Structure 1
Amino acid sequence: MMVLVSRSYKFWNYTPSIAAAVIFILLFLTLTVLHSWKLFKTRTWFCIAFTIGGFFQIIGYIGRAVAHDNTTTMGPYIVSNIFILLSPTLFAASIYMTLGRIIRCVKGEHLSVIKVSRLTKTFVWGDVLSFVVQGNSSALSVLGYDTWSKVAVVGGLAIQLISFSIFWLTAIVFKNRIRRSPTPESVQTGIPWQKSLYMLYTVSALIMIRSIFRVVEYVLGNDGYPLRHEWTLYIFDSVPMVIVMVVFFVWYPNKLQRNADFEGGIPLTRSYSNLHR
C-alpha cells in the first residue's frame, strides 16, 4: 500500500514574533497618521511618497504578524518581504526632492555639483529604478527563480546605496560651498535650510545602514545568521526606519519656500503641487 506524505515548505527559518510585529505595526501606524496629518495640513505634496512608505511599513508588519501562524503560507511571506523592503525607497524619493528644494530656497543653484533642474530627476528616477528592480524580486521568487530573485534584491539595494552615496556627496559639497560663499537668502533666519540639511544627513545615513544590512542578509542567504535570527531585522531595519520617520517629522521640510519645490521636479509631483495651490 502506498502512503502519501504531504510536505510543507517553511518560508521562515524561525517563527515570526507576533508581539514584535504588533509593536511595530502600532509604531508605524502612529507615525504614518502623524505624517498624513502634517502632509495635508502644510500641503507639502512632495512628501506624499514618504507618507506612502509609512503605509508600506504597516502592511509589511501585518504580513509578519499573520505569518506567526502561517510559516508555510507564501502570501504573508511575500507581503512582509516586499512591503518592508520597498518602503525605504519611497522615503528616499521625498528625501531627494528635499535637497533640490533647499538649494532653490537659498538661491544656491550655482553652488550645486549637479544642475538643480536635473538633480531631483536624477535621484528620483534612480530611486524608481531601484524600486522596480527590487519589486520584481517577488515575482521571480513566486516563479521559482530564487537565485535571480536574490540578484534582483541585491542589485536594487546596490542602486540605492550608490544613489545615496552620490546624494550625500552632493549635499556635503553644497554645504561647504555655501559656507564659503553664502547667498543673501542663506543668511536669513527664517529659512531653516541648515537644519533641513542635517536632517537629510541623518535619515540618509540610517537608510544606508539599513540597506547595507539588507545586502549582507541576502548575500549570506538562508543559511546566514541574519535570516536565521529575527532580532537582526528589527535592530538593523525596523528601528532605523522608525527613527527615520521620527526625524523627518520633527524637522519636516514644510518651512522651505513653496516656490523652491517643483521647478525642475518630476512631472507628476509638479502637476499635483500646482493642482493644490
Structure 2
Amino acid sequence: MAEDESIYYYDPSLGAAILFTILYTPPFLWHLWSVTVAPRTRGYSRTLFYIPMIIGAAFEILGYAVRCASTQNPEDVGLYASSATLIVLAPVFICASLYMLIARLVPSTTDNDPSGQEGAEGEKDQKKLRILWIKPRWLPRLFVGSDIFSLLLQSSGSVIALSNDWEGEEKDIGLAVLITGLVLQVVTVTFFLVIVLTARHRAIAVGKYSLGPKMVIRGVIIAVCLILARSIYRVVEFAEEIPGYIFEHEWLLYVFEALPMWFALLVLAWYHPGRWLVDKVTRNRGDTELAEREV
C-alpha cells in the first residue's frame, strides 16, 4: 500500500489503540455494576440516569477497538470515520448523565424537602432551589438540548468539509460550522461547571453540604474540568490549519482526548451518586443505614 493512500497524517500506533481499549474496560464495567447490580447487592441508590454514561464508556471502548483495526487499514475511510465518530460521541453521553444528575443534586443541597410545603412558604422554598434563576428540572433539558445541537453542528460541518475531500470552499464552510459546534460544546460545559460551583456554594451557605452531596459534587467538578480540557483541545485541533501540528502528531490525541476522558470515568466511578446520595425509596423504607454511605 502506498503511503499517500493513508487517511492519517502519521503512522498510527496499534499499541496505543489496544492500550486504551483495555484501559476503558474497567470503568465501563464498574459503572455498569453500580447501576445494575450494586442497588440490589450493596445498597446503592438507583441511578438509571447514569445509563447514558454506561453507553458513553462503551463507545470509548468500541471507538479505540475500531481504531485498532483502522491502524492496520489506514486507507479505509469507514473504519476511520467509525472510530472517530464513536470517540466524539462518547463525551456527549457521559455529559448527559451529569446534566441529569444536577437536577437531582440541587434539591439535596439547598433545602430539606420543599415539595411538601404549601402557600407562601412553599413558593419561597421552591425559589431557593433555583440556580441562576433556573429551576432544577429545566437544567437537564437546557444542557442536553445544547449538547445535541452542538453535535449536530459538528456532524454537519464534517459532512460539508468531507463533500470535497477537505478542499476548497466546502472545507472552509464545513470547518466554520464544525468549529461553531465545538465552541458551543465548550460554552455548554463551562456554563454547567458554573452551575455546579454555584450549587456547591449554595449548599455551604444553607448548611446542607453533607458528606454525600460533597463527595458527588467533588467528583463532578473534577470530571467536568477534564471534559472541558478535552473540549478545548478539539477546538484548537480544528481551528489551526489542516493539516497542522495536531493532525500530524498522534500523541496529542491520547494525551488530550483519551486520557482526560478515561480519568473522568474513573473519578465518576469513585464518586458515583448511587454510593453517596440519599435514595428516596430507601429513605421511605426507613432504612437510613443505606441512605447515605460513609467512607
**TM-score scaled by structure 1?**
0.82
For 1:40 and 1:140, the matched residues in 2 are separated by: 41
For these two proteins, the number of residue pairs brought into alignment is: 250
In structure 1, list runs of 5 or more residues that go unmatched: 1-5, 261-277
Q: 2:30 aligns with which of 34, 48, 58?
A: 34
What is the aligned partner in structure 2 of residue 256 from structure 1?
277
Cα-to-partner distance string for 1:27-53 (whole Å, 9 max, x where unaligned): 112221221121212341100111111
The answer as to whether partners of 2:27 and 2:266 remain within 8 angstroms in 1 is yes
What is the aligned partner in structure 2 of residue 175 from structure 1?
200
Q: In 2 relative to 1, CA 120–37 (structure 1 residues): closer, same or farther, beyond 3 Å?
A: same
For 1:223 and 1:45, the matched residues in 2 are separated by: 42
Letter in 1 for 2:243: D
What is the aligned partner in structure 2 of residue 206 from structure 1?
226
For 1:243 and 1:187, the matched residues in 2 are separated by: 25
Correspondences of 1:77-92 after superposition (within 5 Å): 77-92=80-95
For 1:146 and 1:222, the matched residues in 2 are separated by: 10
What is the aligned partner in structure 2 of residue 264 from structure 1?
none
For 2:195 and 2:35, the matched residues in 1 are separated by: 26
What is the aligned partner in structure 1 of residue 7 from structure 2?
11
The answer as to whether partners of 2:10 and 2:249 remain within 8 angstroms in 1 is yes
Letter in 2 for 1:79: S
The answer as to whether partners of 2:154 and 2:181 remain within 8 angstroms in 1 is yes
The answer as to whether partners of 1:89 and 1:130 remain within 8 angstroms in 2 is no
The answer as to whether partners of 1:16 and 1:65 remain within 8 angstroms in 2 is no
Q: 1:75 aligns with which of 70, 73, 78?
A: 78
**TM-score scaled by structure 2?**
0.78
For 1:16 and 1:198, the matched residues in 2 are separated by: 36
Letter in 2 for 1:85: V
CA RMSD of aligned residues (A): 2.3
Query: Aligned-pair distance for 1:72?
Result: 1.5
Q: Using the TM superposition, name which of 204-213 and 64-73 deviates more.
A: 64-73
Instruction: Report sequence identity in percent.
Output: 28
Q: 2:106 aligns with which of 103, 108, 118?
A: 103
Q: 1:237 aligns with which of 257, 260, 267?
A: 257
The answer as to whether partners of 1:130 and 1:159 remain within 8 angstroms in 2 is yes
Q: 1:65 aligns with which of 64, 68, 79?
A: 68
